[in-house]
């Protein structure tokens, strides 16, 4: 599985990728494939795309959009917004003021005591 790193705008491939952001704000697009996406620092915008993706938002106030398949999105320190998309998604929060929306499909949410979710 290829590893893609960068900063700013980062785009995966149609195949499974490991995509790693930077300590700066990033706009990350997973595209197709079962991707592993690591946001790292700052306020990132992460789009999983098609495939069963694993997304770790990283530090900062991140916005995560899963995709049409079965995704797992985890919030780390920061006030994050997690959206699962269609499919069976797992959204997990941390101890900050996070918000999650499972959207369509059969979803699981594991919020912390301060997370607001809609599954």
Domain ranges of the chain: 3-92
Most confident range, picked from 45-59, 63-77, 89-103: 45-59
Residue 115 has pLDDT above 50, yes or no: no
Counting every residue, how long is the chain? 119
Closest CA to 66 of 81, 43, 83: 83
Residue 101 has pLDDT above 60, yes or no: no
pLDDT at residue 22 in the model: 96
**Tens digits of residue pLDDT in 15-61:** 999 999 999 999 999 999 999 999 998 999 999 999 999 999 988 99
């Amino acid at each position: 599985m290829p590893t893609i790193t960068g900063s700013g705008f980062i785009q995966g491939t149609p195949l499974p990728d490991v995509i790693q952001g930077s300590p700066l704000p990033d706009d990350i697009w997973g595209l197709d494939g079962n991707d592993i996406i690591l946001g790292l620092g700052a306020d990132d915008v992460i789009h999983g795309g098609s495939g069963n993706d694993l997304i770790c938002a990283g530090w900062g106030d991140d916005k995560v959009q899963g995709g049409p398949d079965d995704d797992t999105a985890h919030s780390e320190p920061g006030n994050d917004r997690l959206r699962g998309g269609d499919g069976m998604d797992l959204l997990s929060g941390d101890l900050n003021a996070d918000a999650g929306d499972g959207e369509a499909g059969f979803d699981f949410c594991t919020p912390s005591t301060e997370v607001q979710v809609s599954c």
